[in-house]
Structure 1
Amino acid sequence: MAVFALPPGVDFPKELVTGLLERMQSQPPEAIARVQLYLNSGRMLRRVREEFQRSGARYLPRLRLVSDLGQDPLAGLPLAVSSLRRKLELAQLVEQLTRAIPAFEAGSSHFALAESLSALMAEMQSEGVHPDVLEDLEIAESHAEHWRRSLDFIRIVARYFDDDAALDSEARQRQIVEAIAQGWETHPPKDPVIVAGSTGSRGATAAFMCAVATLENGTIILPGFDREMTDAAWKSLYSGVFPIEDHPQFRFRALLDKMDLAIGDVGEWRDIDPHDRARNRLISLALRPAPVTDQWRSEGRELGDLREACQGLTLIEARDPREEALALALVLREAAETGTRAALITPDRLLARRVTSALDRWGIIPDDSAGQPLQQTAPGRLLRHVASFRGQALTIADLLVLLKHPLCATGAGATARGQHLRLTRDLELELRRNGPAFPAPDALRIWAEKKAQDRTVWVDWLSGVLDGFAAPEKAPLSANVDTHLALTSLIAAGPEGCVETSELWREEGGREALRLMQELQREAAHGGEISPSAYADLINRHLQSGIVRSGMASHPLIAIWGTLEARAQGAELLICGGLNEGSWPEAPAPDPWLSRQMRLAAGLLLPERQIGLSAHDFQQALGSKRVVLSRARRDAEAETIPSRWLNRILNLVQGLPDQHGPDAIDAMRKRGVRWLEMVKAFEAPRTQLSPATRPSPKPPVPQRPKNLSVTAVQTLIRDPYAIYAKRVLRLFPLDPMRPAPDPLLRGQILHEIVERFTRTRAVEETADAARDRLMAITDAVLETEVPWPSTRRIWRARIARIAQTFSEDEVQRWQSGTPAVIEEKVTIPLENDDFTITAKPDRIDLLSDGTVRIYDYKSGALPSEAEIIAFNKQMLLEAAMVERGAFEGLGARTVREMTYVRLGGRGETREVKGKSKDRTETPDEAWARLRELVARYQRPSQGFTARRAMQKTPDRSDYDLLSRFGEWDVTDKPEPEELG
């Protein structure tokens, strides 16, 4: 057997090609054209082809990918069914079983379970494990019921292992490999066959490599083979109950065992030294399996001066991910300026995007091998939005997400797109000011009729879009896909446009989205019936498989790679980014189907396999000439934990003071601090801005308000700046884009209910009849005014809780007086002042003795007497207005009582006395003080101070952002400002 290897850190593609040319040197030029060279990845294949081209004009070997074996259409086997079709079939089977066993993986979607089950089935096919093997597994007592249920689920895939079953891609790959191996036993190929760059981590690939290794002219070339490992370390990989699959060299040990080879049987492909043998020895020792870490003490002394081994290492320990990304971007920028080939290797796609964004400010576009996820492109986002909104009423925010999407209304040219954006802006202002919370075609048509005629066509198109989001509870998947595509096309086309001229299916993202949607359309017949929410989940998961690679020219020296591509490295500077637990290595995904013990017994791979592969890629990367190791000490949620591999390296080096280990780590950190200091300098503001002062604007007297409502008096007392912003600047807060059933709406609804109840009262009505009428009115108002079903039920229950008490109190109130004023708005002037006061009392009853009683309904807590005297002047001022004859139907009357009625809690009532422990105030005194207050704010010298006397520190004003509250504190002295 011819099994060779290259050490970590060498340029594997370059040395592979050089070694092959050396071996073929004595043969005729055409001999190399007969060589079949199988490689592990597309990037490796491209690098190998580039190295052959650099070596001069010559024939090339037949370059292939190991993964392409299963796609050979001439293999005598039917083509494999698509993985999407298999997932759709499994999803239906999973749905049927979850009905029978609802407790299993409760909360998981059918498609999530189908995807994990599909992955398990692919692994079993690749490893050659039949479901019958699982029947003989011994299930441990702990959680035994869960694993028994999981086996019930797994049995549903047994049908796909039958001889007459349609082949999956992994099953076809395995069968082709087995057929090739069987054919080679009798008719071995005459030409050389080489497999290079693979670790044999997948069962079918390992079987193919074993078959190649048995050939007389077969060759295996392993990447990153660690020859610094001792025999004890190799043996320890199988020393326990479970093999140590998270070790970087475990896959080589498992592969060589399948070939019946010893470690010493692996030859050198080329007699070449790595970039830094001392560093390779250090990394090898640091990553030794846990059972033999005692070798650190004995072999650590033989590492020599660690400052030399760590000379090419830089350690960046950033404060947070943003600082880490900026530091790495600066490293790559310097590499671009100095002509150094550099690559960032990280599995953290968020970090990669942050670095790409930072590089963009200097016009550097890295060659990102992973591309951009389709979900994050404009077509992917639009498809996901449309799918997620179907079957539900669109909120204002949902509608604006669609209307402001960059692909919306692009089918009729730039002019039509500009018109669309203008109308979208106008509609947003209308909806945020006047609603409704869930825009409907009827409301839009009313808005269209208000002003410009150009709204009509646009609103007709938008009404059609809204109608398209209605969906049945369940429908065939094919119908869902057709409706989804039709609705998305309508949105992209816009009014008077067409999808063919829109931007929807253009560029790389659009073409990839169209390909995936057409694939779903082809396979939809296997999906059965599906609900809108399940369809949205399916679309989200299906689009995850799409990757979009930019067509823009990237920088020739700067790249971003995944961890697998560390094997194909050809960079002078490598950056290992995101070295935190959970990122690199990524935590193994939880397996809902088989425990570790069950996997081991069945002959499947342990969850730690992926960690071992990442560890091998990490070891490969650290063998490069110059390496930057980076991590963020904290993420968005908490302190992070350094990667186990980084921890091992630092612990080993730190524990060897005789070899200058602490000095070596200090030097690594100092080299990293240089970049962090550059980030601070880069982000330091060029000019220092002073914080804002507490505003107290003094507008000209003619511009000051000449009218105030009794409810706004409290605002003038507590936050005069809010009166200035609203009445002088005419700035009004918009309602949120996602309207919610907040306390303000609840108060409006309760007042509407009570107003209708009062206006429709019947003579001699009993308390029970009044209660029934109250609940009937409540149901009618809630149905028309509250669009949230759950809120309707909650608010109805609250009213029902006080309905009896409220009705009994109302019957007593009707016996003592007659409602004379109900929600009537009046305005009267302040005596001797060019100023008016407005009030709209909830209710005023005329009593039998000619006096009146004022009622104010409160949905929240009732104000205390101290609050009424200090700032909550509404009732006292309304009483003063009644006594001054403000209400034409009443005339000037004496106010006998002022009563608060709470429309919540226990429905209690409370009389307003205007008396607290240390103060009293009558309506006339409140009116006089109001005159003094208004007169003060009519003086040119009086400013409208922001947050002058808020009741509580956490209280928020609608105008805190305008006043730049936060840059100043409530203890700061206001600074009045003259306004011209």
Structure 2
Amino acid sequence: MFDATESRLFALPPGVDFPAALVAGLRARMQGKPPEAMARVTLYLNTTRMRRRVVQIFGTHGAGFLPRIRLVSDLAADMVVPDLPPAIPALRRKLQLTVLIGRLLDTLPDLAPRSALTDLAESLAALMSEMQGEGVGPDRVAALDVSDHSEHWARTREFLTIITPFFTDAEEPDSEGRQRRLALLLSDLWAASPPRDPVIVAGSTGSRGTTALFMQAVSRLPQGAIVLPGYDFDMPGLVWAGLDDALTSEDHPQYRFHRLMGLMGATPHDVRLWHDAAPPSAARNRVVSLALRPAPVTDQWLVEGPDLPELSAAMQDVTLMESATPRQEALSIALILREAAERGTPAALISPDRVLTRQVAAALDRWNIRPDDSAGIPLNQTAPGRFLRHVARLFGHKLTSDALLTVLKHPLTASAMDRGQHLLLTRDLELKLRRDGPAFPTGPDLIAWAGAHSNAHAVGWATALAGALDGLEDAGSLPLTGHIARLRRLAERLSRGPAPEGTGELWKEAPGEKALEFVTGLEAEAVHGGDLSPGEFRDLLDGLISGEEVRAPMIAHPGVMIWGTLEARVQGADLVILAGLNDGTWPALPPPDPWLNRRMRLDAGLLLPERRIGLSAHDFQQAVAAPRVVLSRALRNAEAETVPSRWINRLTNLMDGLPDRNGPEALSQMRARGKTWLDLAAAMDRPLPAPDAGLIPATRPAPRPPLAARPTALSLTRIEVLIRDPYAIYADKVLNLRPLDPIRQTPDARDRGTVVHTILERFVRERPPEETRDTARARLLALTADVLEDQVPWPAARALWAARMERAADHFLTIDAAEGGQSVLVEGRGELALQGLTFTLFGTPDRIDLLPGGKLHLIDYKTGSPPSDKEQKSFAKQLHLAALLAEEGGFRGLGPQQVAKITYVGLGSAGKVTEDEITPEKLEGVRDGLYHLIGSYARLGQGYTSRRAVFTERFPGDYDHLARFGEWEMTDKPDPQDVGTGDTP
């Protein structure tokens, strides 16, 4: 098949359909030979998708023999090697390394937090795999000179010596280590007895040491050949010679070929065309080749740029699409793929950004187009994957309301029963937890709530739930076997709900089957995982499950594909969209290496971080040579402006600098073609005007309900709301709408105020006679600890609020003893019916003292700043109105009594106190103002205006969204409107 005197190093240029040209070249070389000769050819390919497409292309030529098709990643597919033990499962190795690193962090806690345990194990497993693939042993790492490095790297080098047992022949090898041993074994075997039939390696760049070793062995065979993908035949020899330095050339797309040729003793002149198939645009290939030259020789743009072909023609099938946002980018790409599907044009989206590709798939779903996605769905984003992660987070701490509701609302929870009843009870429980708590519900809390519920199913449902969740807080460190057993047991129990047996829908369909396979595999290897805390187990589970993918069976559109960057070599699409072309995404930033820095990697003979960039550059160079290409990026993401990919920068800079070759004009044409799609996407996203109302914004509401529907009683504190934001009173008292508390209750100012008032109420009520100041202070702090322990379930809040009360204790005791009064009413309710109006004012002042002169002193405690004199005159009328109640005899047991003064006591850090003397004239003004305010709302013409006198733009209104604040301004006039049925003005 091959002439032994000629080079058997072949290649195909970028843009050529590699599988099709590979098969065509192989069939051409087999012309005139018997049909069975093809069956004696062994063909090693780089990916499963490449193998699938090669088989498909052979099938288009009719019946005939196929070559033996293998993968370079599975050299032992048809070999029996009894002396070589099977590869250790990757999961077992990660678990072993987790234990090993955990011991390291116990001795060197400053090396990394234990929360990084899983990530460190993952990165160390990758390092070990790379070391075995590149033939680098621990002894070479131990011999590295770290005298001019920081102490961190010296300690890391010492730590890496303890992984030596994993590299011995007696130890079970990793998959990469076993692969290298197989490559060495084949090399020795072929050296002694080379096969006579052709052996071809096609589609691989030889970027990994094991693959390069195997390709060298094949190249030495009498009938061995290498077919390289995406080889740049346009690059001059001077540039090839300049790729010797890995530190400056590793990120170049052709560097891997240069390195491979060096290992084989070949030169670029030895590389021959495998087949004469022409690339879609040889002129575009020349432009891209020059644009991607290594940085040290980009000065050649000035020399070779003028020799490029006319750029408008060369780039006529390239579109540059620069979207404003990732959403616009995804929608524009979806529109391009939709048009391609309608025209019957095979189209592929290539991007390493999985978020973007999922957004594109979601956008295509509106037209019932399901792309053939080669990556599948990450298991951690499927329903079973999310469910397992939620359940794992229940262990080791108090159950919070949001964690409980997250699990209850998951579609797999109680999936063995009628979910209608389950969802109904879940909704009722959520309302209870939001309004009344507790912040940390327990089993008895759930059963007590169910006992008072009218639904006959509530008790059984809550009892089953309480039994499943019992004891989660007490979960401590366990062996991994215990963690995974407990996780599976609880997940299955929650999935079946109150049903007596079964696992519900948890393990059903493709995602459930994959989740069960994952859990079963983890159970089988858990014995190697050591002891973990609940938090460490959660991190481990998250790390492991994120690496699993589900490929659910589906009927995909045959002409719309989503590929990863590696699959750019497969080709077969007439239209290729390269998306996410921003620095940090494509190419991706090299992952941080906690074990070896860049120089140590080079000295040890390992791959540099730039290798990933170089591979991405090679994928880009192949994909951009497709018949029609769209280059897409978003100008900004959710956080900030983005930086264009270095390849986009190089290409646009080269074209901008060649006006004689119409570079700027060609670039403008590329952007114009992209803008067409961006405009279509913007038009799709533009909201349509309502058919009747048009785009008229809402007016400032001032609803006027019937008099019978208006409130007939308000508390002292709600009078302030009626002054500042009457619409809130309308929504609360007329519409009966209440703002829901957040699902996850956290300590806020309202909780602190309630706790402080409870402490001070008990302090005054339980005051013993003739108490000294020191005794009073000790009693106040003891009461604080008691109330906090009883009413505040958050440990951090308890500690913080106790410290604040201790700081405020002396200030409070000084104010408490200043007037020498005697407390006659603490948190006592008072009422006042307004004469001539069907309205009752009620309220509960914090404290009323009887002064030695026989007058009353009203006191109100504020955990924040007390209201200023100006605020009291305008809207903060709480204590002034309470004084009116006292003088009118509104407090039972006190009778009508004169008020001497009111005092707001601030218990914050400033300790501010605001006092006001009460005079008959001042009290008369308060009375008149109250009657005027309430009387105005007793008239039909008075509407409840939204934000009538909030006095500050940042006033936190609970009902602003209902009033559609933002569609109108504070300077807009109210728009009174009659609502409801009843009286008319």
1:830 aligns with 2:837: no
Matches within 5 A, 1:554-565: 554-565=556-567
Aligned match for 1:720, one of 726, 731, 738 = 726
Q: Distance in 1 between matches of 2:910 and 2:558?
A: 74
Matches within 5 A, 1:212-227: 212-227=218-233
Aligned match for 1:116, one of 123, 131, 138 = 123
The verdict on how the C-alpha distance between 1:73 and 1:23 changes in structure 2, with shifts beyond 3 A counting, is closer
Higher mean alpha-carbon deviation, 882-891 vs 143-152, is at 143-152
Residue 907 of structure 1, CA deviation: 4.2
TM-score (structure 2 length as normaliser): 0.97
1:626 corresponds to which residue? 628
Aligned match for 2:258, one of 246, 253, 257 = 253
Q: Distance in 1 between matches of 2:133 and 2:14?
A: 28
Deviations 1:733-786 (A, max 9, x none): 111111111101100010011111111110011111111111111111111111
Q: Give the letter aligned to residue 618 of structure 1.
A: F
* Contact kept? 2:348, 2:577, Cα under 8 Å: yes
2:448 corresponds to which residue? 446
2:685 corresponds to which residue? 683
SS of 2:900's equivalent in the other structure is strand
1:530 aligns with 2:532: yes
Higher mean alpha-carbon deviation, 420-429 vs 156-165, is at 156-165
Deviations 1:319-377 (A, max 9, x none): 01011111000000000000100000000011101101110111000001011111111
Aligned match for 2:877, one of 854, 858, 873 = 873
1:88 corresponds to which residue? 95
Residue 897 of structure 1, CA deviation: 2.0
2:356 corresponds to which residue? 351
- Superposed CA RMSD: 1.5
SS of 1:940's equivalent in the other structure is coil
Residue 806 of structure 1, CA deviation: 2.2
1:861 corresponds to which residue? 865
Q: Give the letter aligned to residue 861 of structure 2.
A: Y
1:236 aligns with 2:242: yes
SS of 2:642's equivalent in the other structure is coil
Q: Show structure 1 runs of 5+ residues with no match.
A: none
* Contact kept? 2:254, 2:618, Cα under 8 Å: yes
SS of 1:30's equivalent in the other structure is helix
1:481 aligns with 2:484: yes
SS of 2:824's equivalent in the other structure is strand
Q: Give the letter aligned to residue 577 of structure 2.
A: I
2:138 corresponds to which residue? 131
Identity of aligned residues (%): 51
1:406 corresponds to which residue? 411
1:372 corresponds to which residue? 377
1:779 corresponds to which residue? 785
SS of 1:200's equivalent in the other structure is coil
1:840 aligns with 2:840: no
Residue 462 of structure 1, CA deviation: 1.3
Aligned match for 2:295, one of 290, 313, 317 = 290
1:655 corresponds to which residue? 657
Matches within 5 A, 1:375-390: 375-390=380-395
Residue 848 of structure 1, CA deviation: 3.5
* Contact kept? 1:395, 1:437, Cα under 8 Å: yes
Q: Distance in 2 between matches of 1:931 and 1:427?
A: 42
Matches within 5 A, 1:756-905: 756-811=762-817, 816-905=820-909
Q: Distance in 2 between matches of 1:243 and 1:664?
A: 31
Higher mean alpha-carbon deviation, 241-250 vs 18-27, is at 241-250
Q: Distance in 1 between matches of 2:298 and 2:568?
A: 26
Q: Give the letter aligned to residue 90 of structure 2.
A: S
SS of 1:560's equivalent in the other structure is strand
Residue 14 of structure 1, CA deviation: 0.7
Higher mean alpha-carbon deviation, 388-397 vs 761-770, is at 388-397
Q: Distance in 2 between matches of 1:436 and 1:186?
A: 78
1:749 corresponds to which residue? 755
* Contact kept? 2:569, 2:619, Cα under 8 Å: yes
Deviations 1:414-445 (A, max 9, x none): xx111100000010011111111111112112
1:951 corresponds to which residue? 951
Residue 905 of structure 1, CA deviation: 2.1
Q: Distance in 2 between matches of 1:108 and 1:309?
A: 53
Q: Give the letter aligned to residue 156 of structure 1.
A: I
Aligned match for 2:425, one of 423, 426, 433 = 423
SS of 1:912's equivalent in the other structure is strand
Aligned match for 1:46, one of 45, 52, 70 = 52
SS of 2:200's equivalent in the other structure is strand
2:741 corresponds to which residue? 735
Q: Distance in 2 between matches of 1:505 and 1:659?
A: 62
1:154 aligns with 2:154: no
Q: Give the letter aligned to residue 479 of structure 2.
A: P
What count of residue pairs does the alignment treat as equivalent?
968
Dislocated runs of 4+, deviation >4 Å: 70-73
Residue 904 of structure 1, CA deviation: 2.6
Residue 107 of structure 1, CA deviation: 6.7
Q: Distance in 1 between matches of 2:578 and 2:909?
A: 60
Residue 954 of structure 1, CA deviation: 1.1
Aligned match for 1:391, one of 378, 392, 396 = 396
Higher mean alpha-carbon deviation, 368-377 vs 449-458, is at 449-458
SS of 2:158's equivalent in the other structure is helix
Q: Give the letter aligned to residue 154 of structure 1.
A: L
Q: Distance in 1 between matches of 2:356 and 2:921?
A: 64
Matches within 5 A, 1:17-28: 17-28=23-34
Q: Distance in 1 between matches of 2:695 and 2:48?
A: 52
Residue 827 of structure 1, CA deviation: 2.0
SS of 2:190's equivalent in the other structure is helix
1:211 aligns with 2:214: no
* Contact kept? 1:104, 1:149, Cα under 8 Å: no
Q: Distance in 2 between matches of 1:762 and 1:279?
A: 94
Residue 797 of structure 1, CA deviation: 0.3
Q: Show structure 2 runs of 5+ residues with no match.
A: 1-6
Matches within 5 A, 1:252-651: 252-412=257-417, 416-452=418-454, 453-467=456-470, 469-496=472-499, 498-500=501-503, 502-651=504-653
SS of 1:273's equivalent in the other structure is coil
* Contact kept? 1:445, 1:456, Cα under 8 Å: yes
Q: Distance in 2 between matches of 1:617 and 1:468?
A: 53
Q: Distance in 2 between matches of 1:72 and 1:467?
A: 53
Residue 190 of structure 1, CA deviation: 2.5
Q: Distance in 2 between matches of 1:527 and 1:72?
A: 33
1:961 aligns with 2:966: no
* Contact kept? 1:280, 1:623, Cα under 8 Å: yes
Residue 87 of structure 1, CA deviation: 1.2
Q: Distance in 1 between matches of 2:285 and 2:344?
A: 26
Deviations 1:82-113 (A, max 9, x none): 11111111111111112222222457611111
Deviations 1:796-824 (A, max 9, x none): 000011223323443455xx332221112
The verdict on how the C-alpha distance between 1:601 and 1:561 changes in structure 2, with shifts beyond 3 A counting, is same
Higher mean alpha-carbon deviation, 357-366 vs 901-910, is at 901-910
